[in-house]
A and B are shown apart, each in its own frame.
Chain A
Amino acid sequence: MKAKRLTRREFLGVTAATGAGLALAGCKPSVPATEAPAATQAAPTKAAAPTAAPPTKDKIVVGMSRPLTGALVAIGDSAFGPISKAFVEEVNAAGGIEVAEYGKKLPIETIIYDDTSDVGTMTRLTEKLILEDKVDFLWPACGTSFIYAQAPLAEKYGYLLITAEGGASTIREMLPSMPHVFVTLSFSDWYQLPVFAELVAKAGAKTAFVTYIADLHGIEYSGSAGIEFPKNGIDIVGLRSLPPDMTDFSEVIRAAQATNPDVFCLFGYPGQIMPTVGTCMGLGFNPKAWLGGPGVNFGFFHTAFGPAVEGIMGFDGYSPKQSPALKELADKLYTGKPEDIQDWWGHPFYWAGLQIWKQAIEKAGSLDQEAIRNIVATEHFETVLGDTWFDKGLLAKECHMAEIGQWQNGVFEVVGPVEHATAEVVYPKPDWPTG
């Protein structure tokens, strides 16, 4: 009896120990990357902080609070996550960033914390990066509401913040009061929906049915559509908000079908877009133009629906056909990887943001936030988007290589604005494939 109890206990003990050992072994590779800077960085920065000019420095420490667990993992891991990783690898392979003050190239070292997709945790970790780790630079958190919470902190501590995932017209109003914050990504009226409305109006669209997810993103885009569509002579014949956790879209699609609109819009996420496409096919609802996003712009949209994606439009950032630099970026990011990870909207914006950051450091010749901020705010940079600059804190719309894309022959072609188009818009869109 007693021996039996002991065996069970021992078994559990050994299992637990093995599990813990495996867990520790599993995190080993990440330990040098995350832990090393905290340990090695602490000494020089702490000593250097009081005096203005630190005598020695052998790396640039960049801090990030990112969603490694929780609801935002899928976005973070496909958007800025791979971009920042590829960028750091590329810069470090070339020896780092030349900083004149130190007379040498400094490699980038990253500290990444998991904000568990929670805003409160993100703000706390951002303050940890700034106050405790004393990182040289802050890289952005993931998501529009996270930008809203992080931007005031960056401003408070005088840290430059070039954002990635997220952006909205309401942040434009805040930017004048936050000179350290720069928004890279395009959004609703900057300059996606004006371009879309003009594009389909010219093709002959007269009516539109607009559906949107009842959140910041949906409200933002439906509001912008409410301004841009009438401006271009398109009547909004139906407007429906969708609760974020809705899963059956047939009633909404039937309602849309009843109004027989030329244009159907769904301002939502893949969680709404994917089932809605299926519902439209099932109910035989095939409007002349179908716009949805974010979601349509990803490679996984094509791999999921195959030929059914033909003619569907979404938000767009670039095409490798537009310039050698953009082709190089696409090759660098996607070659040898599954199509699912392709993102034709955000990637060039995030990459350009990092390029601007690097060039501004080189131009400033120091790691001084103010000097670098002033350069970012006022100068032009040569990036993957070509001549690039910020206009009142937003990446100038003249630098956008694309606003609206359309799936044509299995490729997400740029169709708007016309001056950047890689293909002419197909309107009306082809029928859903049969069978």
Chain B
Amino acid sequence: MQTGKASWLRLRTPVLWLALLAAMGTLSLYASPYTVIMVTNILMYVILTVSWVLFSAPTGYISLATAAFFGVGIYTSATLGGQLPLPLIILTAGVASFVLAALVGALTLRLKGVYFAFFTFGLVELIKHLLLWYEVSVTGVRGRFVVSADNVTIYYIILGILVILLLTSYLIRRSRVGLALQAIGEGEDAAAHTGINVSAVKTFVFALSAVFAGAAGAAMATRWGYVDPYIAFDYLFSFTAVAMAVFGGLGRFEGPILGAVVFAFLRELLITRFPYVYMLVMGSVLVVTILYLPQGLVQLAQKSTWRRLRGHREPA
């Protein structure tokens, strides 16, 4: 009985993921054209959130640089669009974001806590203004048109990026690097003393997580049509990624994914159905979630949560 249940449990997760992947992989065959566009957008947020979690959740370093990497991707697409095939542009964007994150990481991952958060936030502004200065005084253009691509193509590209990201994230969690990250999060000095090359691990994973944000930016820019430094380097993307991750729950692998999906879908619903109360409802939902589900939405999947909400106390 026990073993039978256990083997089913072990199989259940991969089967569910595969079923989900099959459903997502054939979406364009049965969903309406707009559903594909909407899901693309939701998946974009999942990518930003999961890529943020990849580095920030285990280490406890709150990065607000997501928007910077995303923006680098957007501008890669805007400058190279039409000159290179789309997959190459996306690859270039990923590499560019990796290089930027590696440089920034090597320079700044000595900063801890709130200092690191501030620096990464500043990075978004810094790049935005450098780019603005460059565009105004060197190229003389402020905004750029992005060569558009087919909506279904973009959907599958985004889905592809997400699948690679999830696999990467899963494998990292189970690898030595993942363990090292965990150790760094729990006590950086202790981790260093056990022989972990703390700086190298942090920089590498930080840069790796940036690849996905950059690639997603390059793909999404083709849907936007027109970008300028303000549009591309919008720090809201940084905060949204953090909010979605916390909303979903950092404790479990599925948490950030669930958070991003629910958050993005709720936002979509509100700005179209109840545009005049969008901010009000969004804020209320976040407050209620933090109050009642401090571990995020995934907490709903735990039986004890329901009991506690009804007033039962958990056995300690």
Contacts and interface: CB of A to CB of B under 8 A. Distances in A.
A219 B284 contact: no
A69 B223 contact: no
B132 A214 contact: yes
A132 B140 contact: no
A26 B288 CA distance: 19
Interface string B221-253: 001111110110010100000000000000000
A119 B140 CA distance: 22
Interface in B237-282: 270-281
Contact of B234 (A118, A152, A215): A118
Interface size range of chain B in the complex? 35 or more
Contacts of A150: 225
Interface stretch (B1-9, B30-38, B159-167, B192-200): B30-38
B305 to A, nearest CB: 14
A219 B33 contact: no
Contacts of B176: none
Given A16-B288, A68-B275, A149 B225 contact: yes
Contacts of B275: 30, 34, 68, 112-114
Given A120-B231, A123-B223, A152-B225, A128 B34 contact: yes
B224 A215 contact: no
A125 B272 contact: yes
A215 B231 contact: no
Interface string A87-126: 0000000000000000000000000111110111101110
Contacts of B143: 145, 148, 216
Given A120-B231, A128-B272, A149-B225, A6 B311 contact: yes
Given A214-B136, A219-B136, A114 B225 contact: no
- Say what secondary structure dominates the interface of chain B: helix
B195 to A, nearest CB: 45
A241 to B, nearest CB: 6
Interface in A6-21: 6, 9, 12, 16, 19-20
Contacts of A68: 271, 275-276, 278
Interface size range of chain A in the complex? 35 or more
B173 interface: no
Given A119-B224, A132-B34, A23 B311 contact: no
A92 B33 CA distance: 32
B129 interface: yes
Given A219-B136, A243-B129, A23 B225 contact: no
Nearest to B279: A69
B33 A148 contact: no
A35 interface: yes
Nearest to B236: A118
Select the residue from B34, B41, B270, B279 with max chain A CB neighbours within 10 A: B34
Given A145-B226, A148-B145, A152-B225, 16 more contacts: A16-B288, A30-B277, A34-B273, A35-B273, A68-B278, A114-B271, A119-B231, A125-B271, A127-B33, A132-B34, A148-B226, A149-B225, A152-B148, A215-B142, A216-B228, A219-B136
Interface of B: 32-34, 37-38, 41, 129, 132-133, 136-137, 140, 142-143, 145, 148, 151, 220, 223-228, 230-231, 234, 236, 270-281, 284, 288, 291, 311
